[in-house]
């Protein structure tokens, strides 16, 4: 295996083990908190980011030519991370469960929309919208108008979440730069998900210039960083709820610094 990937995987594993040592206690603490919906969503998003990371790791280990597939996995990982970051910021700032409750309602609505549209894709848009509203009322008890439906869906779009995070982080230039970069990457990765010409050109240029390996390293590093950061934020929340987790958070932070050193040594941004 590539030396860089081997070192990265080793540090990533150690970081995960560090978190796992207190995960059970954290979950127990979360269950007794006043933020059940937010915590449930944050834990779920943290898990999906890690799952996508592991899939990308497997692909990278097998062959550098899997770069295209890895990029298609990176797009949802970034979206999940943006949602995670927004929920976490709302919870820390407002100290209530409103964002978590609203997010879970949004998930039900967006999945209902997707389900109805998949079954009535050729019907007029107005009729599809009516079917969505009827389904939400019948199955979930949601009494919504077309305008309310559009507002909820729009509020949780990645663009709106990015704007809110930008306002929240306006005094932290380093984090703001990072999140802006993620939004740009998310948009560019659309071409990979939808089979666009830009993705095709990017991949073939990387292949012909023999830079597949470097580009794969960059993406795998980002996967690791997103997963590690999500776990770090969960530990921070644990510290807010119970200061006894401070020691675990400090240990995790030191381990994460080691992961960043591996990335930096190999000039990975």
* Domains of the chain: total: 1
pLDDT of 126 above 50: yes
Give the single-character DSSP code of 75: H
Task: Look at residue 86 and tell me if it is in a domain.
Answer: yes
269 pLDDT band, cuts 50/70/90, is very low
Interval 169-175 mean pLDDT: 80
What's the pLDDT band for 194 if we cut at 50, 70, 90? very high
Q: Which residues of 232-268 are buried (b: 16+ CB within 10 A; e: fewer)?
A: bbbbbbbeebeeebeebbeebeebbeebeebbeebeb
According to the per-residue pLDDT averaged within each range, which of 152-156, 176-180, 256-260 is highest? 256-260
DSSP per-residue string spanning 148-208: HHHHHHHHTSHHHHHHHHHHHTTT-HHHHHHHHHHHHHHHHTHHHHTT-HHHHHHHHHHHH
pLDDT in tens, 75-106: 999 999 999 999 999 998 999 999 999 999 99
Residue 143 lies in a domain: no
Q: Quick one: DSSP state of residue 120?
A: S
Given a contact cutoff of 8 angstroms between Cβ atoms, the answer to whether 88 and 70 are in contact is: no
Prediction pTM value: 0.92
**Residue 238's Cα: distance from chain center in Å?**
19
The answer to whether position 176 is within a domain reads yes
pLDDT at 265: 60
The answer to whether position 91 is within a domain reads yes
Q: Which domain holds residue 254?
A: 3-95+157-265
The mean pLDDT value for 239-257 works out to 95
Four-residue CA torsion sign, 96, 97, 100, 102: negative
Lowest mean pLDDT across 50-54, 156-160, 210-214: 156-160
For the stretch 205-244, pLDDT in tens is: 999 999 999 999 999 999 999 999 999 999 999 998 899 9
> Which residues, 6 or more positions from 73, have their beta carbon under 8 angstroms from its beta carbon?
52, 55, 56, 59, 223
Domain assignment present for residue 137? The answer is no
The length of the chain in residues reads: 269
Domain assignment present for 118: no
Distances (CA, A) of 22 to 18, 58, 87, 198: 8, 26, 22, 44
In a domain? residue 173: yes
In a domain, 66, yes or no: yes
Rounded to 5°, angle at Cα 72 from 71 and 77: 85
Lowest mean pLDDT among 8-12, 16-20, 32-36: 32-36
Grade residue 169 by pLDDT with cuts at 50, 70 and 90: confident
């Amino acid at each position: 295996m590539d030396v860089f990937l081997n070192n990265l995987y080793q540090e990533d594993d150690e970081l995960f083990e560090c978190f796992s040592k207190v995960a059970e206690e954290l979950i127990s603490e979360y269950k007794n908190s006043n933020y059940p919906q937010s915590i449930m969503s944050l834990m779920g998003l943290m898990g999906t980011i890690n799952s996508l990371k592991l899939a990308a790791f497997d692909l990278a280990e097998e062959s550098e030519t899997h770069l295209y597939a890895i990029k298609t996995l990176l797009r949802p990982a970034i979206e999940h991370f943006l949602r995670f970051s927004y929920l976490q910021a709302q919870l820390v700032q407002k100290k209530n469960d409103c964002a978590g409750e609203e997010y879970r309602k949004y998930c039900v609505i967006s999945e209902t929309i997707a389900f109805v549209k998949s079954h009535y894709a050729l019907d007029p848009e107005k009729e599809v919208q009516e079917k969505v509203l009827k389904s939400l009322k019948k199955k979930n008890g949601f009494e919504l108008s077309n305008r309310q439906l559009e507002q909820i869906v729009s509020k949780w779009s990645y663009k709106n979440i990015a704007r809110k995070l930008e306002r929240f982080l306006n005094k932290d230039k380093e984090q703001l730069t990072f999140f802006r970069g993620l939004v740009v990457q998310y948009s560019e990765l659309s071409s990979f998900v939808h089979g666009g010409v830009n993705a095709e050109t990017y991949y073939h240029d990387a292949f012909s210039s023999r830079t597949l390996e470097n580009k794969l390293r960059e993406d795998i590093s980002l996967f690791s960083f997103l997963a590690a950061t999500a776990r770090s934020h969960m530990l921070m929340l644990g510290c807010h709820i119970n200061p006894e987790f401070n020691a675990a958070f400090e240990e995790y932070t030191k381990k994460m610094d080691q992961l960043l050193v591996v990335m930096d040594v190999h000039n990975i941004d």
